[in-house]
C-alpha cells in the first residue's frame, strides 16, 4: 500500500477556526520549546535528544504549560517528529541548523493522525476531523481508501485547506525500456539527455500586472491606515489594524493571486513528471542539496530552485507508485566532461551553449551533454 495526498478546501465555522489556530500556535510553541531545549543541551555538552526522547518530554511540557492540553494531541507529537527530521537533515549536511518558527509565517499548518476513525468523510460536503468535529469541505469525492492522517493549512489570506493522506494501491505502468538523464537549468528548467527541454514558463506575466496593482494598493492603504492610527493616538484613541477593512481586502487579493500562480506552477510540474514516469523506466537526476537552495536572492533563481525540489519530490513518489526507478547522482563535472569520450573539456563560461570536444571532435549542446553525463553516472 502506498500513500497519496488529497487536497481539500475547508469551510470551518468560527469556533473551528479558533481550534485550528490554537493547534497551529501550540504546535509552533512546542517546536520552539524543544528546539530551545536541544540548543541548550548542545551548549552544555549534552547529547542530541531523539524523536522518542522529545515525545517523552511532551509530558513534562504539558505539566509545565497546562494550556497545551487545548491542542489536538497528535499534532504535538508530529511537532517532535518534524523537528527531528530537520535535525537529521542538518546532521547529514543537507540543511542549515533548525530555526525558531515565527508566528508571522505566511503558511501555517499542523498534522493530526487518524486514530479510531476520528478522520472520516461524513458526506459529500462534510468531514470529521480530530478535535474539530464535522467541518464543511469541498473536494471530498476524491478520497477513497483508508485515511492515515491530515495536514490542516491556513494561508496568509485566512483560507483553510487540508491534505488528507490516503492509502491507495497504484497500478504499475508498462515498462518501456527507456532511460533518461535530467540536467537542471534556468531558462530551460530541465534538459533531458534525449534533447527535450522543459521551458521555465513565466506564469506570472498574465497575473503579474494584477498582482502589482494590488501590491501598490496594499502599500498605499497600509500607509494611510498607519497615519490614521498615529493621528488617533495623539488624541488618545487606540485604533486597531483590523478596523481597516480595505487593508485586509488588499492583503487577501495579493495572497489570492499568489496562490493562483503557485497552483498553475504545481499543475505544470505534475503533468511533466507524470509524463516522465510514463515514458521512462529509469530517471537519473542530480541530488539537490536543499542547503544550497533557497539562498539565492534572485527571484528567477529562487523559483527555479523550488521547482527543482518539487520535481525531485514528485519523481520520488511517482516512481515508487508506478514501479519505475529514480537514481540521484552527484552533479560534479557533468557540464565539463565530454559525454562521447569521457574526457574533461574544462570549465566553460555560461554563454557558451555549444562546444566541440578537443579530444574526439564530437559537437555537443552544452546542456544535453550534461544530461547524458548524468544518465551515464547512474551506470558508473
Ligand atoms: Zn570527446
pLDDT along the chain (380 residues), means of 10: 92 97 96 96 95 95 96 95 94 88 84 94 95 95 93 90 94 95 89 94 77 92 92 87 87 88 90 97 86 59 81 95 94 91 90 92 94 92
CA of 370 to the centre of ligand 1 (A): 13
Domain-wise residue ranges, the chain: 2-168, 204-257
CA of 346 to the centre of ligand 1 (A): 11
CA of 289 to the centre of ligand 1 (A): 29
CA of 192 to the centre of ligand 1 (A): 19
pLDDT at 130: 96
CA of 340 to the centre of ligand 1 (A): 5
pLDDT at 292: 54
CA of 332 to the centre of ligand 1 (A): 17
pLDDT at 235: 87
CA of 369 to the centre of ligand 1 (A): 10
CA of 363 to the centre of ligand 1 (A): 8
CA of 368 to the centre of ligand 1 (A): 14
What is the enclosing helix (H) or strand (E) of 135?
A: strand 133-138
Q: Which residues contact 14 (CB under 8 A, 6 or more apart)?
A: none
CA distance 246 to 364: 57
pLDDT at 104: 78
**What's the grid cell of residue 234?**
495623539
CA of 345 to the centre of ligand 1 (A): 8
CA of 350 to the centre of ligand 1 (A): 19
Q: Which residues contact 342 (CB under 8 A, 6 or more apart)?
A: none
- Size (the chain), residues: 380
Helix (H, G, I), strand (E, B) or coil at 280: coil
pLDDT at 288: 76
CA of 41 to the centre of ligand 1 (A): 54
CA of 312 to the centre of ligand 1 (A): 30
Helix (H, G, I), strand (E, B) or coil at 335: coil
pLDDT at 203: 67
Strands laid side by side in the 108-113 sheet: 108-113, 147-154, 160-168, 2-11, 133-138, 126-129, 120-123
CA of 342 to the centre of ligand 1 (A): 6
CA of 193 to the centre of ligand 1 (A): 16
β 325-329/282-286 pair status: parallel
CA of 361 to the centre of ligand 1 (A): 6
CA of 339 to the centre of ligand 1 (A): 7
Q: Mark the residues whose beta carbon lies below 5 A from ion ligand 1.
A: 338, 340-341, 357, 359-360
CA of 344 to the centre of ligand 1 (A): 8
CA of 373 to the centre of ligand 1 (A): 12
CA distance 164 to 3: 10
Amino acid at each position: 500500500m502506498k500513500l497519496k495526498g488529497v487536497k481539500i478546501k475547508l469551510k470551518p465555522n468560527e469556533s473551528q477556526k479558533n481550534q485550528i489556530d490554537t493547534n497551529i500556535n501550540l504546535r509552533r510553541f512546542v517546536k520552539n520549546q524543544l528546539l530551545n531545549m536541544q540548543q541548550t543541551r548542545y551548549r552544555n555538552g549534552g547529547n542530541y535528544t531523539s524523536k522518542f526522547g522529545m515525545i517523552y518530554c511532551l509530558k513534562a511540557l504539558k505539566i509545565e504549560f497546562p494550556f497545551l492540553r487545548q491542542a489536538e494531541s497528535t499534532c504535538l507529537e508530529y511537532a517532535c517528529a518534524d523537528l527531528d527530521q530537520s535535525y537529521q537533515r542538518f546532521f547529514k549536511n543537507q540543511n542549515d541548523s533548525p530555526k525558531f518558527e515565527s508566528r508571522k509565517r505566511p503558511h501555517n499548518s499542523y498534522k493530526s493522525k487518524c486514530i479510531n476513525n476520528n478522520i472520516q468523510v461524513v458526506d459529500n460536503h462534510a468531514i470529521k476531523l480530530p478535535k474539530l468535529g464535522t467541518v464543511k469541505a469541498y473536494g471530498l469525492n476524491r478520497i477513497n481508501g483508508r485515511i492515515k492522517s491530515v495536514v490542516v493549512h491556513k494561508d496568509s489570506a485566512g483560507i483553510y485547506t487540508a491534505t488528507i493522506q490516503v492509502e491507495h494501491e497504484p497500478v504499475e505502468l508498462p515498462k518501456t525500456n527507456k532511460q533518461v538523464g535530467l540536467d537542471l537549468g534556468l531558462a530551460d528548467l530541465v534538459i533531458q539527455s534525449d534533447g527535450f527541454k522543459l521551458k521555465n514558463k513565466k506564469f506570472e506575466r498574465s497575473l503579474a500586472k494584477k498582482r502589482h496593482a494590488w501590491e501598490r494598493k496594499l502599500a498605499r492603504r497600509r500607509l494611510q491606515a498607519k497615519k490614521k492610527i498615529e493621528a488617533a493616538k495623539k488624541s488618545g484613541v487606540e485604533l486597531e489594524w483590523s478596523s481597516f477593512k480595505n487593508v485586509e481586502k488588499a492583503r487577501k487579493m495579493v495572497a489570492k493571486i499568489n496562490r493562483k500562480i503557485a497552483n498553475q506552477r504545481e499543475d505544470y510540474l505534475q503533468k511533466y513528471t507524470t509524463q516522465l514516469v510514463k515514458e521512462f523506466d529509469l530517471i537519473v537526476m542530480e541530488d539537490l542539496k536543499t542547503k544550497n537552495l533557497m539562498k539565492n536572492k534572485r527571484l528567477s533563481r529562487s523559483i527555479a530552485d523550488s521547482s527543482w525540489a518539487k520535481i525531485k519530490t514528485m519523481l520520488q513518489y511517482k516512481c515508487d507508485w508506478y514501479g519505475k526507478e529514480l537514481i540521484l547522482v552527484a552533479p560534479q563535472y557533468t557540464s565539463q566532461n565530454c559525454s562521447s569520450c569521457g574526457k574533461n573539456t574544462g570549465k566553460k563560461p555560461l554563454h557558451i551553449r555549444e562546444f566541440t570536444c578537443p579530444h574526439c571532435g564530437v559537437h555537443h549542446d552544452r546542456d544535453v551533454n550534461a544530461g547524458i553525463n548524468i544518465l551515464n553516472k547512474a551506470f558508473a
